Amino acid sequence: MVGLVGSARPFDFLLESVRWQSFSVVCRFVAHKKTDNRHYPFRMGLSGFHSFLCCRNRDCHLAINTLTYTIMMIDITKSVAFTGHRPERIRQTSMLYFYLDIVSQVRRLYSLGYRNFLSGMAEGFDLLAAQAVASLKTEYTDIRLIAVVPFRRQANRYRQENKSLYDRIMKTADEKVILREDYCKDCFHRRNDYLIDNSEIVLAYWDKQPYGGTYYTVGNARMMNRTVINLYK
**Are residues 116 and 91 both part of a single domain?**
yes
The β-bridge relationship of strands 13-14 and 23-30 is antiparallel
- Decide if 32 is inside a domain: yes
Range of the domain at 204: 75-230
- Decide if 154 is inside a domain: yes
Q: Residue 126 and residue 190: Cα distance in Å, rounded?
A: 16
- Structure confidence at residue 45 (pLDDT): 32
CB atoms within 10 A of CB 10: 11
Q: Residue 17 and residue 21: Cα distance in Å, rounded?
A: 13
**Are residues 182 and 88 both part of a single domain?**
yes
- Decide if 3 is inside a domain: no
- Structure confidence at residue 165 (pLDDT): 96
- Structure confidence at residue 105 (pLDDT): 98
**Are residues 147 and 206 both part of a single domain?**
yes
- Structure confidence at residue 90 (pLDDT): 87
**Are residues 171 and 218 both part of a single domain?**
yes
- Decide if 205 is inside a domain: yes
**Structural domain ending residue among the three candidates 30, 49, 74:** 74
**Are residues 204 and 103 both part of a single domain?**
yes
Q: Residue 158 and residue 43: Cα distance in Å, rounded?
A: 29
- Structure confidence at residue 42 (pLDDT): 34
**Are residues 89 and 66 both part of a single domain?**
no
- Decide if 122 is inside a domain: yes
Q: E-assigned strands of 134-174?
A: 144-149
**Structural domain ending residue among the three candidates 54, 74, 94:** 74
- Structure confidence at residue 62 (pLDDT): 33
- Structure confidence at residue 64 (pLDDT): 30
Query: Residue 111 gets which letter from DSSP?
Result: H
**Are residues 58 and 104 both part of a single domain?**
no
**Are residues 58 and 106 both part of a single domain?**
no
Phi and psi at residue 176, in whole multiples of 5°? Answer: -120, 115
**Structural domain ending residue among the three candidates 23, 50, 74:** 74
**Are residues 138 and 159 both part of a single domain?**
yes
Overall number of domains in the chain: 2
Q: Is 14 helix (H, G, I), strand (E, B) or coil?
A: strand
Q: Residue 88 and residue 215: Cα distance in Å, rounded?
A: 15
CATH number, domain containing residue 143: 3.40.50.450
Query: Residue 113 gets which letter from DSSP?
Result: T
**Are residues 53 and 82 both part of a single domain?**
no
Q: Residue 100 and residue 107: Cα distance in Å, rounded?
A: 10
- Decide if 1 is inside a domain: no
- Secondary-structure percent of the chain, ordered helix, strand, coil, rounded to 5: 30, 25, 40
- Decide if 5 is inside a domain: no
**Are residues 80 and 67 both part of a single domain?**
no
The whole model's pTM is what?
A: 0.72
**Are residues 66 and 137 both part of a single domain?**
no
- Decide if 2 is inside a domain: no
Q: What is the mean pLDDT of each run of 10 residues along the chain (233 residues)?
A: 31 40 45 36 31 33 33 84 92 84 98 98 96 97 97 94 96 96 94 96 96 95 97 90
